[in-house]
Structure 1
Amino acid sequence: MRTIPETVFLWGGLVLIALILLASLVLQYFAYFRAGEIMKNLSNSPAVVARSKSLGWDPAGRFLFISCVGTLFIFSKKSLKSGELNTKDYKCFPVGLRRKIEVISVLMLALCVIAIIGVIIGNYNGWLK
């Protein structure tokens, strides 16, 4: 018989996994169906050019590509300063698409941090064996 905290932890973990999978699917959508637009608008950015050369049809490669673009947008000041993201490309990139990629990437980052904290708490309390 499970205690109430264990049951809440279990259901919370299942919801967290579902949200991570949903966010991953949305990122995969952008990686497969909006990749041409992304590469066209970020054609002068070294980080995107380097990642797009190895871009194939496999889901892992596409996920790494869109994760790279999301990271560039989330940390845009640092990316612009270091030269990984071209200033002209960043300013000309469609704002709606950029916001969607940023929001999903930040959500994915937050969900992963929550998952790591959940695993640490679960191990500490002995709920994960």
Structure 2
Amino acid sequence: MGPVNDRRNILIVDDDAINRMVVRVLMERRNYRVLEAASGPEALEMIKGETFDVVLMDLSMPGMDGLETTRRIRGDDARNLLPVVALTAHTSPKEQKMCMQAGMNAVLRKPFEAEQVDRLLELLDHSTKGPGA
């Protein structure tokens, strides 16, 4: 049985096409609508024109990395509440702290399970709606 996700929109940001494909297939199997960006600047452009429920952000990208992309999302008043989740193979306490300082909402360690995204979205929904939601 799949999640009750009302066909949520997910943006995957990763410079590696294979990584994007793996995450996209995993999320589409759970009935998520998935769009992809291959870079931070491309993600910022897509976010301006589309409403997303969550951004799954790779940290290591050439040019503008995931941390800087997130900082720019947080600097945009219209989009600063958009949930951003780091996707990384490295989850040291130092790296997690850097993610939180950049404005990310959570960190998912690669490889991850689709159910982890379901649970994370539930938690993010409750935290953005406030108590009693």
TM range (shorter): under 0.3
Bigger relative contact order, structure 1 or 2, given CA contacts below 8 A and separation 6+? 1
- Report the structure number with the largest CA radius of gyration: 1
State the TM-score, normalized to the length of structure 1.
0.26
Instruction: Name the TM-score, length of structure 2 as normaliser.
Output: 0.25
Higher helix share: 1
